């Protein structure tokens, strides 16, 4: 989404702002998998990506202040300190990165005032500030103490974390009401990749949806088909099971109970409606894999119901989907097609994902579990673009507006 497209969105990029000598507050997504006890970073992919934006700002002579989060308060991956993140960023950039264990108090303010051109400072986890995650508008967040104080010390704001853009949090939306703002390179790349499906998809465009997020999944199906973005949607995972029920297949008691326990069943009326309206465009599994005594067994859908849990699409379905993928010019993937965490049940996901990776199509994948599955089968680098986002990606494909993007569109100049 370069040039004209960016102008269309009305969001500035790093090309549109002069950074020399300016204090730039950058909001990346440094929320990475960490060891809950030692807090050691286990996967630094996100930090590596954002480092490119930060490096460009350093090269352009900015004084960079990073505001980010790690985990949610009370959860095992929460860490008040982002010192490990600062250290890792320093290794990646191959230059010193300062850290203060303060957010907008005296220590943080002094450190920001003392920053020299080309220096980088990381502040403590922004989620230690209780107002950060309060459900407030951009205007209300702009009036919080943190945003007031930090923006009085800065010249410009850069939102680089597309993966936090679905949160109307102070650090995501608040600064855009106070400072000239733009998107960073990570955000730009994510929007550019998404535009290749959502703005001008090369046809046929095939979408593969799996996973367990039924409400978002049904919304995504409706969005993709109603707007004629997808020509076909191939379903697997629990959302695939829901649509089998919607087409009058009896999955068997344990499977129905599981769908009910996970609140997936609540989306049945919507699934029935979509199934009727878009019958020609929605492909459902023709066989499934169940677990019997720890082993994979396959059943045709016409052999259902079963007393055993369904954990994957069957091999026949996987090859059918793989063949459909081969007819596509662009492919969107959100969610694995089975319980990929269990080696026996990654097979369906692997066959389909491998077919995408080996084809010449433009392929875009996103969502936390999709990324984990791609890593497990070593296909992460084989897709044209893999989004860094989890929840934000899923939200985007439902057609919902993301607060971070909206805030950038109406940022002060
Ligand atoms: C993510 O990992 O998806 C983002 O960092 C957002 O995290 P959150 O779901 O805790 O807001």
How many angstroms separate the Cα of 397 from the Cα of each of 10, 63, 114, 166? 21, 35, 43, 12
3-class state of residue 154 by DSSP: coil
3-class state of residue 290 by DSSP: strand
- In sequence order, what are the residues at sequence separation of 6 or more whose Cβ sits closer than 8 angstroms to the Cβ of residue 298? 287, 288, 289, 290, 314, 315, 316
CA of 73 to the centre of ligand 1 (A): 12
CA of 20 to the centre of ligand 1 (A): 31
CA of 214 to the centre of ligand 1 (A): 19
Say what the pTM is. 0.94
Ligand 1 close to Cβ of residue 163 (< 6 A): yes
* Contact (Cβ atoms closer than 8 angstroms) between residue 103 and residue 129: yes
pLDDT at 9: 77
Indicate which atom in ligand 1 lies nearest the CA of residue 29: 5
Ligand 1 close to Cβ of residue 160 (< 6 A): no
Indicate which atom in ligand 1 lies nearest the CA of residue 390: 3
**Residue 330 to residue 131: CA distance in whole angstroms:** 41
pLDDT at 3: 45
Ligand 1 close to Cβ of residue 29 (< 6 A): yes
Ligand 1 close to Cβ of residue 72 (< 6 A): yes
Ligand 1 close to Cβ of residue 8 (< 6 A): no
pLDDT at 280: 96
Indicate which atom in ligand 1 lies nearest the CA of residue 391: 3
Nearest to 123 by CA among 140, 142, 110: 110
**Residue 340 to residue 311: CA distance in whole angstroms:** 9
Which residue is listed with tokens 């290749």?
Answer: 196
Same fold, 4-189+402-409 and 203-360: yes
How many angstroms separate the Cα of 58 from the Cα of each of 15, 96, 106, 111, 273? 14, 12, 25, 17, 53
Q: Is 319 exposed, middle or buried (0-12, 13-18, 19+ CB in 10 A)?
A: middle
* Nearest protein CA to atom 9 of ligand 1, as residue: 391
Ligand 1 close to Cβ of residue 225 (< 6 A): no
* Contact (Cβ atoms closer than 8 angstroms) between residue 219 and residue 271: no
* Nearest protein CA to atom 5 of ligand 1, as residue: 31
Q: How far from the centroid of its chain's Cα atoms is residue 398's Cα?
A: 12
Cis previous bond, 408, omega within 30? no
CA of 69 to the centre of ligand 1 (A): 9
Ligand 1 close to Cβ of residue 390 (< 6 A): yes
Which residue is listed with tokens 């230690």?
Answer: 128
Ligand 1 close to Cβ of residue 164 (< 6 A): yes
**Residue 370 to residue 336: CA distance in whole angstroms:** 5
Ligand 1 close to Cβ of residue 171 (< 6 A): no
CA of 124 to the centre of ligand 1 (A): 17
pLDDT at 337: 98
CA of 279 to the centre of ligand 1 (A): 34
What are the sequence ranges of the domains in the chain? 4-189+402-409, 203-360
**Residue 66 to residue 285: CA distance in whole angstroms:** 46
Ligand 1 close to Cβ of residue 253 (< 6 A): no
Indicate which atom in ligand 1 lies nearest the CA of residue 167: 11
Indicate which atom in ligand 1 lies nearest the CA of residue 133: 11
* Contact (Cβ atoms closer than 8 angstroms) between residue 154 and residue 112: yes
R_g of the chain computed on alpha carbons: 23
Query: From first to last of its 413 residues, what are the pLDDT tens digits of the chain?
Result: 444 444 457 899 999 999 999 999 999 999 999 998 888 999 999 999 999 999 999 999 999 999 999 999 999 999 999 999 999 999 999 999 999 999 999 999 999 999 999 999 999 999 999 999 999 999 999 999 999 999 999 999 999 999 999 999 999 999 999 999 999 999 999 999 999 999 989 999 999 999 999 999 999 999 999 999 999 999 999 999 999 999 999 999 999 999 999 999 999 999 999 999 999 999 999 999 999 999 999 999 999 999 999 999 999 999 999 999 999 999 999 999 999 999 999 999 999 999 999 998 999 999 999 999 999 999 999 999 999 999 999 999 999 999 999 999 999 98
What's the CATH number for 4-189+402-409?
3.40.50.1260
What's the CATH number for 203-360?
3.40.50.1260
Using left for φ > 0, alpha for ψ between -120 and 50, and beta otherwise, residue 378 falls in left
Ligand 1 close to Cβ of residue 70 (< 6 A): no
CA of 29 to the centre of ligand 1 (A): 8
Q: How far from the centroid of its chain's Cα atoms is residue 389's Cα?
A: 2
**DSSP assignment of 15-61, as one string?**
GGS--TT-EEEEE------B-TTT--BS--HHHHHHHHHHHHHHHTT
């Amino acid at each position: 989404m370069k040039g004209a497209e960016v102008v269309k969105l009305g969001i500035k990029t790093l090309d549109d702002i002069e950074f020399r000598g300016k204090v730039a507050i950058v909001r990346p997504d440094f929320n990475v998998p960490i060891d809950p006890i030692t807090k050691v970073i286990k996967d630094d992919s996100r930090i590596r990506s954002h480092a490119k934006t930060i490096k460009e700002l350093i090269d352009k002579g900015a004084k960079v202040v990073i505001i980010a989060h790690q985990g949610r308060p009370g959860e095992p991956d929460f860490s008040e300190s982002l010192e490990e993140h600062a250290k890792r960023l320093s290794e990646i950039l191959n230059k010193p990165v300062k850290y203060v264990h303060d957010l907008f108090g005296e220590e943080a303010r002094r450190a920001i005032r003392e920053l020299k051109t080309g220096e980088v400072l990381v502040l403590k986890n922004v989620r230690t500030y209780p107002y950060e995650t309060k459900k407030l508008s951009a205007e209300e967040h702009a009036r919080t103490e943190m945003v007031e104080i930090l923006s009085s010390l800065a010249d410009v704001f850069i939102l680089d974390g597309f993966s936090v853009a679905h949160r109307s949090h102070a650090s995501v939306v608040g600064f855009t009401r106070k400072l000239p703002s733009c998107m960073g390179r990570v955000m730009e790349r994510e929007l550019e990749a998404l535009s290749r499906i959502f703005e001008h998809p090369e046809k046929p465009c095939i979408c593969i949806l799996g996973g367990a997020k039924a409400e978002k999944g049904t919304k995504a199906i409706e969005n993709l088909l109603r707007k004629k973005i997808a020509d076909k949607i191939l379903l697997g995972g629990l959302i695939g099971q829901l649509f089998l029920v919607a087409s009058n297949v009896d999955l068997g008691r344990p499977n129905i109970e599981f769908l009910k326990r996970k609140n997936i069943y609540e989306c049945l009326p919507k699934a029935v409606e979509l199934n009727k309206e878009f019958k020609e465009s929605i492909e459902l599994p023709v066989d499934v894999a169940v677990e019997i005594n720890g082993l994979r067994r396959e059943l045709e859908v016409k052999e259902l119901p079963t007393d055993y849990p369904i954990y994957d699409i069957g091999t026949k379905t996987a090859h059918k989907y793989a063949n459909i993928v081969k007819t596509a010019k662009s492919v969107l993937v959100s969610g694995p097609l089975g319980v990929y965490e269990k080696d026996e049940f990654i097979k369906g996901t692997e066959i389909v994902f491998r077919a995408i990776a080996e084809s010449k199509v433009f392929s875009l994948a996103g969502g936390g579990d999709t990324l984990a599955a791609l890593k497990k089968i070593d296909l992460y680098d084989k897709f044209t673009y893999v989004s860094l986002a989890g929840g934000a990606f899923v939200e985007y494909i439902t057609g919902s507006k993301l607060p971070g993007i909206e805030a950038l569109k109406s940022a002060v100049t």
